[in-house]
Structure formats: C-alpha cells, structure tokens
C-alpha cells in the first residue's frame, strides 16, 4: 500500500525523470557495490552511480540549452542589425500576463461560437431551399 501511495505521488508530480537520474544512479550503484564489495564497494558504487546520473541528466538538458542558445543568437543578430522593434515584439509576446491569456482564450471561444451560429442558421436555410425546389418539381 505504501508503495502504491509513493508511486501515485511520484506520477502525479510534475518533475521530470531526468532530475532523478543522479539519485537513481547512486541507489543502483550503492546497492550493486554493497553486494560485490561491502561498505567500501557501496560507497564507490554510489559515487559512480551518482556521477553517471549527473552525466545522463546533463545530456537530457541539451535540447533546452540549444533553444536558449538559439534565442541568444537571435537577440545578438537583431541588435547587430539594428532591428530593435523585432526584439520588442518578441519580448512582449513572451511576457503575456494571465489576463492577456484569458482574453485570448475568450476571443477564441467567441470565434468558435460565431462559426457555430452561422452554421446553425445557414444549414436549415439551405436545406429548406433545397426541399422547396424539390417540392416545386413535383
């Protein structure tokens, strides 16, 4: 039961698995070192496992680092070309407040409602027109 609760808590949290790589590596290394070499082997295994976990964690963060590098290159390029308005537009797009996001969401919902209203009105009118033409031919 405790294991299920821990598993549920782990799965419901929003941390990524890569943040747990050092801990998992240290646990696995310590356990295998303890089996093979006793307390000294456990210490060496835990150290090696934690080091490998750090390597794996840093390897999984390369995408994020690449995105940040691309953004920095874009900023340097824009500044060197004198395109400050582009920088301001990008910064304002990234700094939307909660209220701006809600207003954008409401606008999207209103557009969908308008499309639905047009369809609800247009489809019966077209059907009626088609049906009247069919009745007039008889």
Query: What are the tens digits of pLDDT across the range 21-60?
Result: 666 677 777 777 777 777 777 777 777 777 777 777 766 6
77 and 49 housed in the same domain: no
Distance spanning both ends of the chain, measured CA to CA: 75
76 and 43 housed in the same domain: no
**pTM of the predicted protein model:** 0.35
* 2, part of any domain: no
Task: Answer yes or no: is pLDDT of 11 > 90.
Answer: no
Please answer whether residues 52 and 29 qualify as being in contact, where contact means their C-beta atoms are separated by less than 8 angstroms: yes
Structural domain for 44, as ranges = 11-60
Q: Of 13-27, 56-70, 96-110, 114-128, where does mean pLDDT reach its minimum?
A: 13-27
Find where tokens 């549920």 sit.
8
Task: Answer yes or no: is pLDDT of 110 > 70.
Answer: yes
17 and 53 housed in the same domain: yes
Please tell me the number of Cα atoms within 13 Å of 82 on its side-chain side.
0
54 and 22 housed in the same domain: yes
* 109, part of any domain: yes
Q: What is the pLDDT of residue 16?
A: 64
Count of domains forming the chain: 3
Q: What is the dihedral of CA 97, 103, 104, 110, to 10 degrees?
A: 170
Encoding tokens for residue 28? Answer: 């696995």
Segments in 2-137 forming alpha helices (H): 2-12, 21-60, 62-81, 84-94, 98-137
Which class for 75: exposed (0-12), middle (13-18), buried (19 or more C-beta within 10 A)?
Answer: middle
Q: What is the pLDDT of residue 4?
A: 74
15 and 56 housed in the same domain: yes
73 and 105 housed in the same domain: no
Query: What's the pLDDT tens digit per position in 89-98?
Result: 777 767 777 7
């Amino acid at each position: 039961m405790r294991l299920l609760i821990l598993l549920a808590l782990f799965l419901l949290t929003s941390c990524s698995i890569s943040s747990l790589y050092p801990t998992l590596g240290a646990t696995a290394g310590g356990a295998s070192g303890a089996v093979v070499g006793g307390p000294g082997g456990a210490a060496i295994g835990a150290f090696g496992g934690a080091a490998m976990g750090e390597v794996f964690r840093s390897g999984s963060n390369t995408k994020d680092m690449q995105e940040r590098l691309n953004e920095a290159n874009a900023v340097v390029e824009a500044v060197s070309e004198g395109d400050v308005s582009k920088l301001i537009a990008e910064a304002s797009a990234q700094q939307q407040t909660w209220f701006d996001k809600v207003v954008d969401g409401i606008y999207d919902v209103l557009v969908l409602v308008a499309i639905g209203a047009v369809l609800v009105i247009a489809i019966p009118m077209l059907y009626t027109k088609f049906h009247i033409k069919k009745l007039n031919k008889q």
